[in-house]
Amino acid sequence: MKLEATVDDLMDTLRADLERLAAIPSIAFPGFPAEPVREAHDLLVELLRGAGVPTVERLDLPDTSPVIYGEIPPPTPEAPTVLLYGHYDVQPPGDESLWKSPPFEPTPIDAAESGLRARGIADDKSNVIAHLGMLRAYGGRPPVGIKIVIEGQEEYGSAFDAYPPTDPERFACDAMVVADLGNLRPGTPTLTTALRGASEVVVEVRTLDEPRHSGEFGGAAPDALLVLLKALATLHDVHGDVAVEGLRREEWSGTSYTEDEFRSLAGVREGVPLIGSGSLGERLWSGPAITVIGLDAPGVEHAASAVVPYARAKLNLRFHPRQDAKEAQDRLVHHLRSLTPFGVHLTVTPGDTGPGYEAATGGPAYRAARAALKEAWGEDASFVATGGSIPLVNGLAKAAPGAEVLLFGAQDSMCNLHAPNERVLFSELRNTVLAMAAFVREYAADFSGPDAGPDAGSGAAGESGV
């Protein structure tokens, strides 16, 4: 009760700090000004020092916005060390006419629960503020050692993704809280235990030197767009399930959305069915997905009556958290290269790929997290996965291979991250601060127990559902 009261007393100040941070358009994408990114960096350095962090450093990597690194030493030699991760950069706002209020003017939301609307306020500035709230709850002296990593170019990607394994001593820890995710729905405490991997592949077809009159040549001249469409149609079966051999798929036994929730979140129009078979968790998290994310072909508005000589598509593959990234991409590439629609060969070019991740859930950090989330929300934590990827998780895990990795935070699936009118609920922020504060207390108490040690977090996937 004392910890809960302490957090409640902090909320007004944390809200004010969140508003200050969310008002800064810290977009680390090419073509956007760099000054707001530096401004957000400097504000967080100021707030961390004010929260009692004695060591705050700046890490500069090539072509990368500065990374904030901080340390609080363990209170005793036996105490564990927890690494806290977040990022202060945000997505561009997109079409501002779709926003109910200016994206960088934090505005109270008009809803049953109180909160704020702004770009980046959920992803990921509320989570950064939650870390800050935990530190303030302990007056800058938590019962564990702390390492803080807040990067400034997560949304665009940077050299930092691969940096931690090159400097393992800096990132050494017993557990890490990656706060770049949140709850399945508001009020449902959630631990994300797996991330699908991601890969891109480009497939293209060239059949003619240039367009030819469809009346004179159509019917015999090979249409590149028809060839491409026939190839793309082989990627899924009649149910909409991925039909590429060798892509891993398993049942999902964790928590998932209801179909109504998913239809609402995805904006599926009335009367349009969902694709694929099996549970939603299986389709979204423990099975593959292939999406055509780009198509080069003549536009409808200015289309000529001509056989198309060239067409190209970009595919995004999401694959099982435990499947090797190169193997998954190779399976898709092999499938496409084996095709000769109408006798025409395809040109297939592999692109970027990133591994998935699955956390072990059997150690003291997960025990502490489950207790802490229940204390904060009043119910047992749900276990979910996500189809999104967080490349840095693998880098941090390689730098600290014995550490347990926890993924939770103040976002929720209905917060509109990366979309217009992104928002965070104060109830979720408050409970996340309380959960983080309770976690370090519980973890410090449990760390010296009989199950602690370097292999404590290396057990089976436990309740993850994968």
169 carries an active-site annotation: no
Domain membership of residue 278 (yes or no) is no
Do 393 and 195 contact (CB within 8 A), yes or no? yes
- Provide the domain limits for residue 177: 2-195+357-447
Task: Extract the tokens encoding 417.
Answer: 């991250």
Residue ending a domain, among 322, 354, 386, is 354
Q: 175 and 234, same structural domain?
A: no
**How do residues 160-217 score in pLDDT, each as one tens digit?**
999 999 999 999 999 999 999 999 999 999 999 999 999 999 999 999 999 999 999 9
Q: 130 and 36, same structural domain?
A: yes
Distance between CA atoms of residues 141 and 129, nearest Å: 17
**Selected catalytic residue, list 123, 124, 151, 154:** 154
What CATH number has the domain bearing residue 224? Answer: 3.30.70.360
Q: 149 and 106, same structural domain?
A: yes
Domain membership of residue 119 (yes or no) is yes
Q: 209 and 292, same structural domain?
A: yes
Domain membership of residue 264 (yes or no) is no
Nearest to 223, CA basis, from 239, 241, 211, 215:
211
Q: 243 and 220, same structural domain?
A: yes
Q: 186 and 124, same structural domain?
A: yes
Mean pLDDT of 9-24: 98
- CA gyration radius for the chain? 24
Counting the structural domains of the chain, the total is: 2
**Following DSSP, what letter does each residue of 209-226 receive, concatenated?**
SS-EEHHHHBTTB--HHH
What's the confidence (pLDDT) of residue 104? 98
Nearest to 201, CA basis, from 79, 89, 325, 108:
325
What's the confidence (pLDDT) of residue 78? 94
The residue behind tokens 């007004």 is: 12
Domain membership of residue 263 (yes or no) is no
95 carries an active-site annotation: no
Domain membership of residue 20 (yes or no) is yes
Q: 153 and 16, same structural domain?
A: yes
What's the confidence (pLDDT) of residue 302? 92
Distance between CA atoms of residues 359 and 457, nearest Å: 9
Q: 227 and 148, same structural domain?
A: no
**How do residues 432-457 score in pLDDT, each as one tens digit?**
999 999 999 999 999 865 444 434 43
Does residue 137 come out as left (phi exceeding 0), alpha (psi in the -120 to 50 range) or beta?
alpha
**pLDDT band (50, 70, 90) for residue 343:** very high
What's the confidence (pLDDT) of residue 466? 63
User: Count of alpha carbons within 13 Å of 124, Cβ hemisphere only?
Assistant: 26
Does the N-terminal peptide bond of residue 123 adopt cis geometry, omega within 30 degrees of 0? Answer: no
Q: 77 and 145, same structural domain?
A: yes
Q: 207 and 167, same structural domain?
A: no
Residue ending a domain, among 323, 354, 385, is 354
Q: 201 and 112, same structural domain?
A: no
Helix (H, G, I), strand (E, B) or coil at 142: coil
Q: 211 and 179, same structural domain?
A: no
